Amino acid sequence: MKIEPAEHIKSISEYYFSVKLAEVARMNAEGRDVVSLAVGAPDRMPSQATIDTLCETARRPDVHTYQPYTGIPELRKAYGDWYERIYGVELTPAEVLPLIGSKEGILHISMTFLNVGDGVLVPNPGYPTYRSVSQLLRADVREYDLLEEKGWEPDFEALEKKDLSRVKLMWVNYPNMPTGANATRDLFEKLVDFGRKHQIVICHDNPYSFILNEHPMSILSVPGAKDICIELNSLSKSHNMSGWRMGMLASNTQFVQWVLKAKSNIDSGQFKPMQLATVAALSNSSEWHAEMNRIYRERRRWAERIMQLLHCSFDPLQTGLFVWGKLPADGAGSETVVNDLLHHARVFLTPGFIFGSNGERFIRISLGASVERLGEAYRRIEEYVKRKD
């Protein structure tokens, strides 16, 4: 008897970091001490109020049962208050749906709107999960280019020339991962107009707006955006809570209800103390976030030094948790460079090819490691470069 997996499983690969981090773990187990600057996982603690709330509420006897599929009312209200305070966007509780991390939301949105064969506009370069989830649902992935010379923004003239028949969703992400490009009000307005014109749901993934970014923006601040847009957000990067898996989506009430139909058949809600702690996190002071950005600015100086050591060019104005750099034109590709650094300098960076063909000539450095580890990475790479020369 021959048993085969489903065709949609055959069409995707195991997530790059799932494979590569296992290799890094083996090297560490062998005593080789790899400095990992690849994954966008903050290494700092959440705020003290967040931790205290979790610990205090977890001791209560009434918080350990199943919770509402829509999240507790206090959390939905807190997300709405946060959006009004930070982004100037008014959200009713019915326009908010808490998620087990925003990555979960990519699946739920896709399940909600896509039939087999429907088209999905996916950025190249872009977060690999947009593509893989679409493939899992047997949708038709249609790439659109993000190019350095166009500021990593969609080319709307090129988009209008594409076959947009059966396209149901378009994934966008600003501040952009992996490129660090920031959004403008003009870009968000063009996206809303494009979605409305072609009846395409614009899905904006917005987890990086707090990091090294002076002006956080939401696509929902554009008048009429709720009619055609869904925004995902997350506390993973902005509040040092990546392991907590606390995220949310916001849109019009009809879209939220449709997504809830999918979500309620898959999970059973989140631990109430974590939800209450998230309410506390959403009230973090501006000083708390300013201190995090001070730390990230210091780390970015080291990441930029590593880019210069590797003769990479980069935009000093990029935002977010990473530094995205372009490899020399006459050198090796991103996968080769990253593997060489891993095995000869014991430093793990992210190769740009995993984000799409337009990322092939780029590498990415995460700011989720201490200045000490970034400095150690610099010294190891410097020694390796000298040995090569």
| CB contact at 8 A, 180 and 324 | yes
pLDDT of residue 15: 82
Contacts of residue 364, Cβ cutoff 8 Å, sequence gap at least 6: 38, 178, 322, 323, 324, 325, 349, 350, 351, 352
pLDDT of residue 12: 75
Residue 191's nearest CA partner among 165, 232, 151, 159 is 159
> In the prediction, which pLDDT does 16 show?
84
257-291, pLDDT tens digit by residue? Answer: 999 999 999 998 999 999 999 999 999 999 999 99
Residue with tokens 């205290």: 52
In the chain, residues under CATH classification 3.40.640.10 are 63-281
Residues 225, 231, 232, CA angle at the centre, nearest 5°? 175
Q: How high is the pLDDT of residue 331?
A: 87
Q: Can you give the pLDDT at residue 388?
A: 79
C-alpha torsion sign, points 329, 330, 333, 339? negative
Across the beta sheet with 167-172, the strand order is: 96-99, 247-250, 229-234, 201-205, 167-172, 119-124, 140-145
Quickly state the pLDDT bin for 375 (edges 50, 70, 90).
Answer: very high
Does residue 148 sit in helix, strand or coil?
Answer: helix
**Whole-number pLDDT of residue 33:** 94
- Please report which residue ranges of the chain form alpha helices under DSSP H: 7-10, 16-29, 48-58, 73-87, 102-113, 128-136, 156-161, 185-198, 253-263, 272-281, 286-309, 334-344, 371-388
CA torsion through residues 229, 116, 178, 295, sign: positive
Q: What does the pLDDT average to over 98-113? A: 95
- Class of the CATH-defined domain 7-45+286-388: alpha beta
Q: How confident is the model at residue 6 (pLDDT cuts 50, 70, 90)?
A: confident
User: What pLDDT digit, counting tens, does each position of 45-91 carry?
Assistant: 999 999 999 999 999 999 999 999 999 999 999 999 999 999 999 99
- Residue 265 token pair: 């058949």
The pLDDT value given to residue 83 = 98
Delimit the CATH 3.90.1150.10 region(s) of the chain: 7-45+286-388
Count of Cβ atoms closer than 10 Å to residue 10 Cβ: 10
In the CATH hierarchy, which fold is given to the domain comprising 63-281? Answer: Aspartate Aminotransferase; domain 2 (3.40.640)
CA 56, distance to chain mean position in Å, is 30
Q: Is residue 341 scored above 90 in pLDDT? A: yes
Locate 300 and state its tokens: 């970015």
Q: pLDDT value at position 324?
A: 98
Closest CA to 154 of 93, 202, 199, 196: 202
- pLDDT tens digit sequence for 308-331: 999 999 999 999 999 999 999 988
Residue 8 confidence class, pLDDT cut points 50, 70, 90: confident
- Euclidean distance between CA atoms 337 and 332, whole angstroms: 6
The pLDDT confidence band at residue 41, using thresholds 50, 70 and 90, is: confident
Can you state the percent helix, strand and coil of the chain, rounding each to 5?
45, 15, 40
